[in-house]
Structure 1
Amino acid sequence: MDGPQREFLDDLLSTHSPAGFESPALRAWVDYVSEFADDVSVDAYGNAVATCEGGSESDRSIAFGGHADEIGLMIRDIDDDGFLALTRVGGADRTVVRGQHVVVHADEPIPGVVGGTAIHLRDRDDDAVPEIRESYVDIGVGSREEAEELVEVGDPITIVGRVEALQGTRLAARGMDNRVGIWAAAEGLRRAAARDAEVTVHAVATVQEELGANGARMVGFDLAPDAFVAVDVTHATDAPKTPSERVSTVKLGEGPVVVRGSANHPGLVAGVRSVAAAEGIDVQLEAAGSATGTDADAVFVSRGGIPSANVGLPNRYMHTPVEVIDTDDLDALAELLGAVGASAAGFDLTAGL
């Protein structure tokens, strides 16, 4: 992957957009899709929709949706010495927070660090990882008054990370979950348009997925597509130390993941798998017996039922600052979405009864 598509991915991964504060990622996304979409709109909470109108032969529409938000932290209090007490934004992992460089997203970005008692000063029998509410950020000031000149309660915080190319086609960064999803949705739209898709194709970047798929609920109701594909990361369990009961067949480098069960509409899933086979795109399968854990769970129950499916990208070390993907998987995912958009007119979206 190179050229404008790689630059777009790097731009997305370099932004910091915790849930509820997604504007930086959404601005980069809207700038990109505006180059080829027929229409781009943004609602009151920031959900962005880019549309390429279909031909006159079909009135069907399909949407590809990723979420623009990421996990993070937030200031819940400032103590008398200027240290910042924390709370979670979404599913932040306390085991990777301590000892990190962070940015407080105030009126101006304020650098800080998550402090931790030095090993020399800790009780040797106490290696417990503190809860996030017990952690604090040090921004280098000495009093509450100094801190309050720079930050305030409710300012979001993200861990500092960098985009790092590993060996081969592997890429590491914070925020893969789910900048890769909105990248793929945008690229799927562009590639579907290049194939002269008969149906109207939408790409969607939703907000607040990490807080309960809130943005997807808004978009599902308002956009009301005939079909919706949620594009998100899924766990690649091919790294050491994965608990045996959680190991799946999903691996990096073996293609995008088609999810079956729960919110996933059988006809839409069959259509996606058929397109993958016709295009020679290798896909992996994953079971979702109860829920997908993605925006599909919110959209499929909207307006009396919108046929939905979850297509995932294998991702190692989810919700850490060093998530790892394979860019070949990501490019294959975008190619699959483009082909799905071009073929969606023929999908059977009935219940099959």
Structure 2
Amino acid sequence: MEPLHRRIRSTGMNEASLEFLKKLTDAASPSYHEEDAAAVFHEHCATFADEVRTDLMGNVIAVLNPAAEFRVLLSGHIDEIGLIVSTISEEGQLYFKPIGDWDPAVLVGQRVWIRGQIPGVIARTPVHLLSEDERHKVCELYEMSIDIGVSTRETAEKLVEVGDEAVLHGSLLRLGENTVIARGLDNKSGAYVVAETLRRAKDRLRKDIGLYAVGAVQEEVGYRGAASAGFGIAPQIGIAVDVSHASDYQQAHSGHLARIALGKGPVIARGANVNPVVYRLLRKAAEDADRPFQLEAEGESSYTDAAALQTSGVGVATGLIGVPLRYMHTPCEMLRLDDLEACVDLLVNFCLALDPTIDLTPKRI
């Protein structure tokens, strides 16, 4: 098979950046077990950042110009949804609880990795043995278990213990010219964007602006990493980079969803968690570069790191950028690499155009 970086070279993504994205998505990092993805993020950023550190929450923080008083925080969370072993049956079956928000229908029959080392499969009663009523019901999480190929609790406990985490099995795969699928693109794609923004802004960023790329933890269980990073860094501006639901396929058509499509560029949010001045600056950065972008309205919470950053400390002027994504919270999340690169370009242009004397107080113009 042709190397991955050669097969999608048309996106403008270089070999090292593509390998970084693949390593991020391959790393098993369910919420509060992000160490593997954190190591990937740290290693990559250490090649260009002025400073890289890990805080007590587990956030990886890479910085340009750490002495600058005007600080911009870019957050892309490195955690993903997963499972946690809750009990082990006498037959060696592992029962589990969700880490984050799952559709139970997605899980049946999936292969898993426990602690990134132990393989297993999610089991349920075969269709042949179901009653007529059971055939028409969604299998609930408590009706499933993980089978690791053993027959006794004693044998299972030599390999696994209660509290061990698991993720679905899968690796980055290319579809078409520049479309990829992978587990955990929510939100390894956002982590990729903030790290690459830092790399590409280096040597061009004003020295009186401190730029912080945060690989944030525990977003899927309550934005906890972004909350602590925002408090510790105390930025004037905070931008969360996450994924946005693409609605460009039949099953997602709905009158209340934004008209968001793959291949149409970054999604810039407006609404509850977005400072209007930051929104206008993001939009201007896209328009000045003559690059396409899409809009999304957030009437209440965006349920992203932007919600935590906005209320950190005395308050932060917050923005939110989305990478268009299909099939969120499944093992085959899908995005286009040209959208990913467009998000990086947008953030780089935004950061390079900033003036630390800007008044970020919300105002109508």
| TM-score, normalised via structure 1 length | 0.96
Between the aligned partners of 2:31 and 2:284, the Cα distance in structure 1 is 35
* Range that drifts further, 290-299 or 120-129: 120-129
Residue 122 of structure 1 is matched in structure 2 by: 130
Structure 2 counterpart SS, 1:263 = coil
**Which residue of structure 2 aligns with residue 10 of structure 1?**
22
Residue pairs, 1:100-115, within 5 angstroms = 100-105=110-115, 109-115=117-123
Query: Any idea what SS the aligned residue of 1:99 has?
Result: coil
**What's 1:247 paired with?**
257
Q: Are the counterparts in 1 of residues 186 and 329 from structure 2 also a CA contact under 8 Å? A: yes
Query: Where do 1:93-172 residues align within 5 Å?
Result: 93-105=103-115, 109-127=117-135, 128-172=137-181
Q: Does the 8 Å contact 1:17/1:70 carry over to 2? A: yes
1:27 aligns with 2:51: no
User: Cα–Cα, structure 1 residues 339 and 211, in superposed 2: closer, same or farther, change >3 Å?
Assistant: same
Structure 2 CA distance for aligned equivalents of residues 168 and 197 of structure 1: 36
Q: Following TM superposition, by how much is the alpha carbon of 1:352 offset from its aligned partner in structure 2, in angstroms? A: 2.4
Stretches (4+) displaced over 3 A: none
AA partner of residue 115 (structure 1): A
Given candidates 191, 197, 201, the residue that maps to 2:206 is: 197
CA distance, structure 2, for counterparts of residue 209 and residue 286 of structure 1: 20
1:84 counterpart residue number = 94
1:115 Cα offset (Å): 0.7
Q: What is the aligned partner in structure 2 of residue 60 from structure 1?
A: 70
Q: Please give the per-residue CA displacement for 1:238-263, whole angstroms capped at 9, x wherever unaligned.
A: 11212523432111000000000101
- Where 2:354 maps in the other structure, the secondary structure is helix
CA contact (8 A) 1:192 1:337 kept: no
Equivalent runs, 1:163-182 vs 2, <5 Å = 163-182=172-191
Whole-Å separation in 1 of the counterparts to 2:122 and 2:256: 30
Q: Which runs of 5+ in 2 are unaligned?
A: 1-12
Following superposition of structure 1 onto structure 2, how do residues 302-317 of structure 1 map, counting pairs within 5 Å? 302-317=312-327
Q: Contact 1:190–1:338 at 8 Å: present in 2 too?
A: no
* Most deviating of 137-146 and 243-252: 243-252
Report the Cα offset of residue 167 of structure 1. 0.7
In structure 2, give the amino acid aligned to 1:135.
Answer: M
> How many residues matched?
349
| Aligned Cα root-mean-square deviation (Å) | 1.5
C-alpha separation between the residues in 1 aligned to 2:174 and 2:52? Answer: 32
1:271 aligns with 2:271: no
- What per-residue deviation string (whole Å, max 9, x for no partner) do you get for residues 176-214 of structure 1? 000000100001111122423341111001110000001
Letter in structure 1 aligned against 2:38? L
Percent of paired sites with the same residue: 38
Provide, for residues 30-49 of structure 1, a one-character-per-residue CA deviation record: whole Å limited to 9, x for no partner.
00000010011111121111
Q: Distance in 2 between matches of 1:241 and 1:284?
A: 20
The one-character-per-residue Cα deviations of 1:285-327 (angstroms, maximum 9, x if unpaired) are: 0000101110010111111211001101000000000000010
Q: Deviation per CA, 1:141-189: give whole Å up to 9, x if none.
A: 1111101011000000111012110012111101000000010000111
Q: Give the TM-score, by structure 2 length.
A: 0.92
Secondary structure at 2:102's aligned position in 1?
Answer: coil
Whole-angstrom CA distance in 2 between matches of 1:210 and 1:136: 22
Change (3 A) 1:6 1:194: farther
Q: Separation in 1 of the partners of 2:80 and 2:245? A: 16
Determine the structure 2 residue equivalent to 1:217: 227
Q: How far 1:340 sits from its partner (Å)?
A: 1.2
Is the Cα–Cα contact under 8 Å of residues 73 and 92 in structure 1 kept in the other structure? no
Aligned 8 A contact 1:257 1:283 in 2: yes
Q: Does structure 1 retain, via aligned residues, the 8 Å contact 2:78–2:216?
A: yes
Between the aligned partners of 1:288 and 1:277, the Cα distance in structure 2 is 22
Question: What 5-or-longer segments of structure 1 have no aligned partner?
Answer: none
Contact between 2:124 and 2:143, CA under 8 Å: does it hold in 1? no
